[in-house]
Each structure stands twice: as C-alpha cells, then as structure tokens.
Structure 1
C-alpha cells in the first residue's frame, strides 16, 4: 500500500491519482484544511476515485491530521511506501502564524518518521521546498548551497528535512527529500501567480505584479514532479539524498505576466502593487544531482507549460475561476 499524506492537495492529489492509475493500492490522509480550497481538494479526491473505478488500482480517503500520532502510526504500519506531502503551505500564511506552520510541518513530520521507525516501510519520500535556500549566495542553487530561509515556512521545511535526514541515518529508514521549485499545473492552488494572471487576463483585467517584477522563479510543471516521485517506487538510488526538482527555466515574474498576457489578451497593460512580505527574491534550480541519480530531465519550459495550463483553465473555467477570484 502507498500512503500519501496531504493527498487531497495539489501535488499529493496528482500523485495519488497517478499511483492508482498505475495499479497501486493508495490510501490518502488529508485534514481538508480550508486554507487550500476545499472544492479543489474534493475534485482531487474524485479524480483519484474515478481512476480507481476505471482501472486496477484502489483508493481510500481518510480525513485526518498528521498531528494525530495514533492515526499516523496505524496508517504507516500498513504502508510499503510513504509520500509525505502534508504541510501548512503558504509563505504569507507562515508569516502571520509561525507557530502553526511549525506545529504542522515539523511535529507532523516527526509523527510520520516515528511511525516509520517502528514499521517495515520501504521508503519515506518527503516533500521539501526551494524555500529552504532563502537568500542566494549564488545561482542556480545546488544542494550544497547555504540554507538561510527568509520565512517561517522555509524554516519549517528545513527543520523537517533535517529530521528526515537524521531519522534516516540513525534508524536506518530509507528516506528521500525532494526540494520542489514553484510547482504549477492543472488543479494548482488558486492563489498562485500563474492562475491569478490567467484569470485576470481572461476577464480583460490587467495582471497585477507584487513588486517590480524582477524577482525570478524556477517554475516546475506538475507532470515532472509526479514522474520523479513515481521513479522512487522502483529504485533505491536516491535513498539518503536531498534532490532539487526544478525546471532549470528561470524567469522573472514580469516575463511570466507578459507571456500569459500576450497569449490571452495582448492589449492589456501590466500593473504593479506593493511587494508581499516573506517572498524570496530569486529561485533557480541546479538539477544536476537529480539528473545523475534519477535521470531527471524536465519536460516543460515555462512557455509550453503555461500553454498547457491555459488550455486546462479554459476547459475547467466554470468551476475553477470562481476559486481564483475569491482567493
């Protein structure tokens, strides 16, 4: 059995659906926190259930919290693999509530690791983040770059990642930590820049950039994340490792807005507003290590990935757009 914590969220939902389609028995644990729009979570659950109905895999959804150590222990005891995606997401949310993000992201991860320590689980895959790097000493970030996060979210991910490493070393638990770089694609969180830019342009409203737009991101398409996680079902080559999973396609927020604007409504001007607290200035992934160990190669650059997302957005606009506009 594969356990996916946070499996009703964006990345976890895609992972669960993929594993089910590939014929695995999947159990999802998610607390349905309304921070992440519940309509999207329910949609993710239904996609995985539909996959189970139409294929050889099975799917079970359990509403619960990773801070519930008894529940986590019970589920991990039955698992062969654990994909630990559950977390309190959101840099700005962490700035407002640093203790909450620590409680969920660090204490929750310890519950998973304690359960794995006393089980026969074959591998724990931890969803880390490029937020652990913070201010760049150089770019692109390789895995040896200093970790100086600039938000409580980044601190919590780094602390959890270190616990994953230590538990792996001390208690002989096969663990892998994947540092994701700004993941996007169908069913993404509606409050992300890409979905917001697309929504505004489709409604002939100027996209709004927070700050001057010179900040850069390494946007990673969801399919590349799913494919990498799936490989970890069949190889131990990455056990004990921390790996960057990005696109290598570093673009400015201004360029992102322009690409989306030019595709949908080129007549619109681009507007600016005050920059938000806690956002990193730049992110850019060096994926050499993941390439060497897992033959990782990103398949989408920002232009092709955005085109795919816009096509999906048009097809799902009726239910998805109201979520974007209310976020």
Structure 2
C-alpha cells in the first residue's frame, strides 16, 4: 500500500504558499474544498460564477483566517479566457464547476453539455497550454446508474440514466482521452452522495433536515426506496486533497470516494428524525420523482483503490455527519438561505 502524508495545516505564511486553482469554488463541495486546501497550507485562486451582485456564493461563509489566503475570481467555466486566467501560475487545478441538479437536466439539457462537457474541455485545453502540474477532475457516482454489481468498483459499466449523468460521462471520457492522447497529468475523483452544511435543498438530506428545522413534521419527498452511499462533505474534501497531493501513482486513474455503507432514503428519513429528536410522517410528491428508467436505485461505493493509493478513509460516521448538518441548518441565519416551502427543480 502506498500512502501519502498530508502536510501539517498552517495559516501563517500567506506569501510563500503554493498556488492552486478551484473551479466551482462558490458551490457546496467547492467551498469546503477551498477551506480544506487553505488549512492544508495552500493559497487558492477560486472561481465563482460571474453575477452582477458580485456574490461569492458559499465562499462568503468561510472564516476570515481562511479567506485571507483565497483570491476570488468571478468568471465562467464555459469561457476559455476565464478558465485560463484562473489557472495561470497554479500548480494544480481542482475542477468542480458543473451543473448538478438532475431534475433540471431534463428541462435544459443543452446547458449541461455547455457547462459540464465544454467547461471541462476548457480546463483541459488551458492545462495543456499552461503546463499545469495536475488536473483533478470531478466525476459523480451517477455515471454508474443503478448498480449492476455491488459494491461498485471503478470498472463498473457507465450508464447515462439522465442528461446530467450523460454529460458527466462525456466529461470523464474527455479527461481520459487527454491523458492517453497528450499525457496530461489528470486524476478523476467520483464522490458518492456527498452531504453536509451548505448543500442545496435539491438533495435529499438537506430537503429532509431543512423541512424539520423549519417546523414541518409532514415531510414532502420523492421516492423512498432508492439506496444511497452518503459521505460527509469534510471527508469528500479530504479525498480531493488526497488525490491532488498524492504521488504520480494516481495520474490517469479514476477513484471512488464513498463511505461503503448503504441506506435507503426512507431509513435516512427515520435516522434524521431520530438525530433531531422529532416524529415525522412522509408524503410523496409526484413532481419530485424521476422518470422510472432514469431513477438510480442503488449506489454503494468500493473505495479500496483510493485508500490503497492515498491512504484516504472516511472519518465521519453517518450519524455524526447528520448531527453536524442538522446543527448547521437549525441556525436561523443558515436556514434563511433556503425556501423550505417551495420545490425548485
């Protein structure tokens, strides 16, 4: 087994820090990754999607001692110039920018191609031109579709059961092709069902927790029988850092990052209710259901390759992660970010 020892966190040498870049830094996982990288001794140039309000998204929630090591750049991964400016001088780029809402991919599939496929192409072309030392590409467990065998190994067939997953498969294959065609130093991480503070309520765990935190006891959800492998966001962020800082053995490889524990959505509801100390009932809303053949029924990660090559293991149990997530959502200032009574595609 080859293990990588990560550097001791230090926040006191801003000018001497190695510069890395992160696309999608204003999002849920991206903002947690930025914090993990800074606490690991890096200086981060972080892309937040351009908007007229000048908002930095979830980056604005990071502590000041972290933000002093972050250079925020408003831009768009669909624009080659934005991507090149972000990556200029960076030793590694962590590419997380993507459209991720599966329901909206049924409505606006072209936007998913433009962001997830063309955006990835822009990152790869910039890395090739600039000589970037490493590209860490973000995949998703959704590319596997409903599991044919479990636990799911990286060699499991890829199944595009939604326009979203199809675009992520396309992006994954572009990354693979640039490694094989041009020897670009790439590594792909496939996180399974990440959850935690700052996650969009389009995902099931924040949907459940935000409704309970708002005082609801008759919860409105979609299907309860799909099986998921939930991984706390701090563990996912550590997985990104692990593949970004590991030795050359990871180059050209794809790695799953999951907890290795499966649970149905229905049992997740019961566990959350237990953690939050409430009794709830569930009412299924048809508008929250995926088309029958598009629903991914079972996901369970085999993360042995990631552990073998980097030493990464999940550290936060589902019970502890749900407790931390519930504590964050029940703070009124955090819950105010969410339109709890409204379903948004």
- In the alignment, the residues of structure 2 paired with residue 188 and residue 182 of structure 1 have an alpha-carbon distance, to the nearest angstrom, of 11
Aligned residue in 1 for 2:303: 287
Deviation at 1:46, TM superposition (A): 4.4
- In the TM superposition, 1:11-160 aligns within 5 A as 11-31=29-49, 42-47=57-62, 49-53=64-68, 58-160=69-171
Deviation at 1:284, TM superposition (A): 1.0
Decide whether aligned partners of structure 1 residues 33 and 99 sit closer, same or farther in structure 2, where only a CA change above 3 A counts: farther
Decide whether aligned partners of structure 1 residues 104 and 204 sit closer, same or farther in structure 2, where only a CA change above 3 A counts: closer
- In the alignment, the residues of structure 2 paired with residue 221 and residue 296 of structure 1 have an alpha-carbon distance, to the nearest angstrom, of 14
- In the alignment, the residues of structure 2 paired with residue 155 and residue 33 of structure 1 have an alpha-carbon distance, to the nearest angstrom, of 27
- In the alignment, the residues of structure 1 paired with residue 319 and residue 219 of structure 2 have an alpha-carbon distance, to the nearest angstrom, of 17
Q: Tell me the secondary structure at the aligned position of residue 225 of structure 2.
A: coil
- In the alignment, the residues of structure 2 paired with residue 71 and residue 204 of structure 1 have an alpha-carbon distance, to the nearest angstrom, of 43
Q: Tell me the secondary structure at the aligned position of residue 166 of structure 2.
A: helix
Q: Is the 8 A contact 2:91 2:132 kept in 1?
A: yes
Given candidates 241, 246, 271, the residue that maps to 2:258 is 246
Aligned residue in 2 for 1:323: 338
Decide whether aligned partners of structure 1 residues 32 and 220 sit closer, same or farther in structure 2, where only a CA change above 3 A counts: farther
Give unmatched runs, 5+ long, in structure 2. Answer: 1-18
Decide whether aligned partners of structure 1 residues 301 and 279 sit closer, same or farther in structure 2, where only a CA change above 3 A counts: farther
Q: Is the 8 A contact 2:185 2:252 kept in 1?
A: yes
- In the alignment, the residues of structure 2 paired with residue 191 and residue 165 of structure 1 have an alpha-carbon distance, to the nearest angstrom, of 30
Q: Is the 8 A contact 1:195 1:324 kept in 2?
A: no
- In the alignment, the residues of structure 1 paired with residue 70 and residue 84 of structure 2 have an alpha-carbon distance, to the nearest angstrom, of 19
- In the alignment, the residues of structure 2 paired with residue 322 and residue 28 of structure 1 have an alpha-carbon distance, to the nearest angstrom, of 22
Deviation at 1:268, TM superposition (A): 2.4
Given candidates 315, 318, 326, the residue that maps to 1:310 is 326
Deviation at 1:251, TM superposition (A): 0.4
Deviation at 1:75, TM superposition (A): 2.6
- In the alignment, the residues of structure 1 paired with residue 334 and residue 319 of structure 2 have an alpha-carbon distance, to the nearest angstrom, of 24
Given candidates 276, 280, 288, the residue that maps to 2:290 is 276
Q: Is the 8 A contact 1:49 1:59 kept in 2?
A: no
Q: Tell me the secondary structure at the aligned position of residue 139 of structure 2.
A: strand
Deviation at 1:269, TM superposition (A): 2.1
1:167 aligns with 2:183: no
The runs of at least 4 aligned residues of structure 1 exceeding 6 Å deviation read: none
Deviation digits for residues 219-272 of structure 1, max 9, x if unmatched? Answer: 111111111122222432311100011111110000000111223254322222
The normalised TM-score by structure 1 is 0.90
Deviation at 1:107, TM superposition (A): 0.4
Deviation at 1:321, TM superposition (A): 4.2
The normalised TM-score by structure 2 is 0.86
Q: Is the 8 A contact 2:246 2:310 kept in 1?
A: no
Q: How many pairs align?
A: 317
- In the alignment, the residues of structure 1 paired with residue 143 and residue 50 of structure 2 have an alpha-carbon distance, to the nearest angstrom, of 25
Deviation at 1:122, TM superposition (A): 1.0
- In the alignment, the residues of structure 1 paired with residue 41 and residue 319 of structure 2 have an alpha-carbon distance, to the nearest angstrom, of 32
Deviation at 1:208, TM superposition (A): 2.7
Q: Tell me the secondary structure at the aligned position of residue 15 of structure 1.
A: helix
Aligned residue in 2 for 1:264: 276
- In the alignment, the residues of structure 2 paired with residue 183 and residue 324 of structure 1 have an alpha-carbon distance, to the nearest angstrom, of 21
